[in-house]
Structure 1
Amino acid sequence: MTAIPTVFGDGIIDVHVASGVARITLGVQTSASAAIKDGKPEPSAMVVVPVLQLPNLARVLADVTRQIEARAKEVAAGQAATQSNQGQASQNQSNQGQPQDQVAGAFRFNG
């Protein structure tokens, strides 16, 4: 398997569509760009997608966004329940001062 380049983008700077191809310019915000370019992000990469594939790309990104929101709600509900349980436990016994373990969640979406 060949290595593929990994790029980072804080957001989208520009989208240009011509000849059936969408060119999406990703941008990254750095301390240098904030100081020098009035806070405008610098281009970091360009994603080139056939226009006919844009609906599929948008669908997958929307699905991933929904999954992230659902996971965030699950984590928030779990933390609220844990805090509630800890509050009840501290009323029943003395607080031992142990911090709550937090696990960062990660998942893969295969659409």
Structure 2
Amino acid sequence: MPDLPTLFADGVTEATVRHGVARLTLAVQDGKGQPLQTGILVVPLTQLPAVVGAMTRLLREVEAKSREATAAPQLPAAPAVEAEPETFRFQG
């Protein structure tokens, strides 16, 4: 897989549509809680429903896994071991 730029965002500060293209300005909060722009996600308007649909399905999967984890019976605590957070791949 080629090296692709990775953008981290915890919010969208602006979203516009111009000439059939949606542009979402992504941002993170800086140390003072102010938004700091990290990049722009550019999506053809015709593909926006597919992109939003994939994100919605991912959110539903995350919510379902969270409910499963909450509903699971609690086991006795294991010795403290540094573990990686659970990861899973969503194929939209």
TM-score of Structure 1 vs Structure 2, range by shorter chain? 0.7 to 0.9
Residue 104 of structure 1 and its aligned partner are, at CA, apart by 2.9
Of the three residues 49, 63, 88, the one matched with 1:107 is 88
Residues 62/98 of structure 1: CA separation in 2 closer, same or farther (3 Å cut) = closer
The superposition leaves residues 20-62 of structure 1 with CA deviations (integer Å, 9 ceiling, x where unpaired) of 001110011111xx2xxxx330111100000001100111111
Does 1:46 pair with 2:30?
Answer: no
| TM-score calculated relative to the size of structure 1 | 0.73
Match of 1:65 in 2: 59
Larger gyration radius, structure 1 or structure 2: 1
Residue 16 of structure 1 and its aligned partner are, at CA, apart by 1.1
Structure 2 runs not aligned, ≥5 long? none
Q: Percent identity?
A: 36
Does 1:8 pair with 2:2?
Answer: no
Residues 98/24 of structure 1: CA separation in 2 closer, same or farther (3 Å cut) = closer
Match of 2:30 in 1: 30
Q: Which amino acid aligns with 1:105?
A: E
TM superposition outliers: structure 1 runs of 4+ over 6 Å: 100-103
| TM-score calculated relative to the size of structure 2 | 0.86
Count of aligned pairs between the two proteins: 91
Which SS does the other structure have where 1:82 is aligned?
Answer: coil
Does 1:82 pair with 2:63?
Answer: no
Residue 105 of structure 1 and its aligned partner are, at CA, apart by 1.7
Which SS does the other structure have where 1:57 is aligned?
Answer: helix
Residues 103/43 of structure 1: CA separation in 2 closer, same or farther (3 Å cut) = closer
